[in-house]
Amino acid sequence: MRRNYATEIRLASERAAVITRQLLAVSRRSVVAPPAIDLGATLAGIIPMLNRLIDARIAIVVHQRPIPHVLADPGEVTQVLMNLVVNARDAMPDGGRITIETELLVVDDDGAATGGLRAGRYGVLAVTDTGTGMDAATQRKMFDPFFTTKEIGKGTGLGLSIVHRIVARAGGAIAVSSKPGHGTTFRITLPVVTAGG
Ligand SMILES: Nc1ncnc2c1ncn2[C@@H]1O[C@H](COP(=O)(O)OP(=O)(O)OP(=O)(O)O)[C@@H](O)[C@H]1O
Ligand SMILES: [Mg+2]
């Protein structure tokens, strides 16, 4: 019993911390260009914190391929990962696996024509879960602020709208692939820092 209360309190305070970060992100208006960060090192540094957001029935697996520095704010990347990991956790009530990958994506002029990204090099951050997946209707609305399918008190519907805003401001893009019963992958591409730009 006492153990349950302690768990509840810990979860409530972690949730409060997440919401506080969201609110800070919403209110912050950054005017300077985001710094260049080592995405792999940032990811490695926050894995312990991400592990504290999940429980023992969920495993986080990391696959890193080396990538050049990308244009992003380390605090914002942390927030993106927290929001995606919490969503993955919530989609796997019976446990499962979260795979976080980094890799380099090179878009040439042909690729730019089809994929919607400008030609250039990007750092990819992909988060895949083995959870419930999403139907088409949910995928259409998932980035809308305050859109949630979770019960009252469980979700504010801000997580993905903030992810979207952070990535867009960094000049990146998000691709989602998801199917009910087959899990979800969020693929975030962030522009690689180029000399003089
Ligand atoms: N990995 C996922 N698997 C299945 N559904 C997801 C996943 N990520 C997001 N969703 C769906 O998208 C909705 C919106 O997600 P979002 O993170 O914006 O809000 P939330 O998780 O409901 O609330 P909050 O993030 O504020 O706690 C979720 O309610 C859920 O229906
Ligand atoms: Mg969320």
pLDDT tens for residues 90-104? 999 999 999 999 999
- Measure 77 CA to ligand 2 centroid, in angstroms: 15
With a pLDDT cut of 70, the percent of the chain lying above it is 89
Answer yes or no: is 197 within a domain: no
Single out the residue of 188, 169, 168 nearest to residue 177, CA to CA: 188
The model carries a pTM of 0.85
Q: Report the largest interatomic distance among the alpha carbons of the chain, rounded to a whole angstrom.
A: 61
Answer yes or no: is 36 within a domain: yes
Answer yes or no: is 182 within a domain: yes
pLDDT at 78: 95
- Measure 191 CA to ligand 1 centroid, in angstroms: 25
Q: By residue range, what is the domain housing residue 49?
A: 2-191
Single out the residue of 100, 103, 94, 26 nearest to residue 66, CA to CA: 103
Answer yes or no: is 114 within a domain: yes
Answer yes or no: is 71 within a domain: yes
What's the CA gap between 194 and 197, in Å, rounded?
5
Q: How confident is the model at residue 59 (pLDDT cuts 50, 70, 90)?
A: very high
Per-residue tokens: 64: 């890193």
- Whether 33 has a pLDDT exceeding 70, the answer reads no
What's the CA gap between 54 and 43, in Å, rounded?
16
CATH number for 118: 3.30.565.10
With a pLDDT cut of 90, the percent of the chain lying above it is 66
Cβ 122 vs Cβ 190: under 8 Å:
yes
Answer yes or no: is 178 within a domain: yes
What's the CA gap between 76 and 70, in Å, rounded?
13
- Whether 29 has a pLDDT exceeding 60, the answer reads no
The DSSP letter of residue 193 is: P
Task: Tell me the sheet residues that pair with 64.
Answer: 102
Q: What is the Cβ-side half-sphere exposure of residue 105, based on CA atoms within 13 angstroms?
A: 22
Alpha helices in the chain (DSSP H): 2-27, 39-53, 74-90, 109-115, 136-141, 159-169
Most confident of the following: 15-19, 72-76, 162-166: 162-166
Answer yes or no: is 179 within a domain: yes
Answer yes or no: is 99 within a domain: yes
Q: How many domains does the chain have?
A: 1
Cβ 123 vs Cβ 47: under 8 Å:
no
Ligand 1: residues whose CB is within 6 Å? 83, 87-88, 91, 129, 131-132, 134, 138, 142, 147-150, 155-161, 184
Query: Best of 79, 90, 94 to mutate for ligand 1, by most ligand atoms within 8 A of CB?
Result: 90
